[in-house]
Amino acid sequence: MIQDKPVRKVNFKMLEFAYCPGLVTPSGDKLQDLASLAAEEQWYFNGDPQGELRILFSYIHHTFNRIESEGKIEESDDGLMCCFNTGLHTKHYEEIFGVFQKNRVPGKQPWFLKEFLPKSKVGFPKLPERANYFEDISDIIFDYRLDIRIDIQHILDEDTERKNRLPAELRNVQNLEGAVNMTIKRIKSNYRLAIPQFYFGTGKIQLLIPLFSSNPEDNRVKAVIPIEKHSSGQFYQGHTCLDMRQAYNNARLIAKLDSDWLNPSAVVGVPGDEEEA
């Protein structure tokens, strides 16, 4: 299968670390193999081209970015192989590892992606841990006691693409302000609506909250607003919005989602960036 080089806003470090045939596009055969090995999960958004596993593509490359920054790549005793923990599991809950071997082609990446294997088939004496995104469990749970402050004017700034992530009816201050106020009331009444994401830009945990309209009877999610605790720890602040694809890709890095409002079937608009906040 001939693979085209992907055009990506994010620097995928695995493609610099290793030659990865079958993992450079969302339809690559190595990506298909990984999806078959892992526990069943929808790795594409409704409406995506058939065979393109865009969610898994984003997941595995962003996971490796984090793994690389944490130094969690383990080499074999002879130095000819190395592996990383994908953070995924088989249907029998075995951890899945990406296994590399030394690249023998001069002038190319130092490693070659060989395969993905369950833990029982990896012959390394020591296996690396999965990526870690938070130290304090309280970081991923919304504290309903704290105020939420959203910079509406910044979201509507004409010089950015943030405004275009909103439906037309919310692209003015009055309507967006009403929607934000209603959303805050909903979040305060049900803290489980807030879903954690890891934002690579700051290396911090943010919480994703669904943006509803000002109509309390309208349960459709219009966009997603990431919020994070102010440095004082006294309130949450938010200054941008994401589309559903961006939000799902970012949140899936931490854990498999079990959400009514954020899932691959709840897609708004066209494909967004793999990571942008």
pLDDT of residue 267: 66
Rounded mean pLDDT of the chain? 90
SS3 annotation, the chain: CCCCCCCCCCCCCHHHHEECCCCCCCCCHHHHHHHHHCCCCCCCCCCCCCCCCHHHHHHHHHHHHHHHHHCCCEECCCCCEEEEEEEEECCCCCEEEEEEEECCCCCCCCEEEEEEEEHHHCCCCCCCCCCCCCCCHHHHCCCCCCEEEECHHHHCCCCCCCHHHCCHHHCCHHHHHHHHHHHHHHHHHCHHHCEEEEECCCCEEEEEEEECCCCCCCCCCCEEEEEEECCCCCEEEECCCECHHHHHHHHHCCCCCCCCCCCCCCCCCCCCCCCCC
pLDDT tens-digit series, residues 151-208: 999 999 876 678 889 999 999 999 999 999 999 999 999 999 999 999 988 889 999 9
Model pTM? Answer: 0.90
pLDDT of residue 269: 46
pLDDT of residue 19: 97
Average pLDDT, integer, range 102-116: 95
Q: How confident is the model at residue 6 (pLDDT cuts 50, 70, 90)?
A: very low
pLDDT tens-digit series, residues 117-163: 999 999 999 999 999 999 999 999 999 999 999 999 999 987 667 88
Whether 273 has a pLDDT exceeding 50, the answer reads no
pLDDT of residue 162: 84
pLDDT of residue 63: 97
pLDDT of residue 174: 95
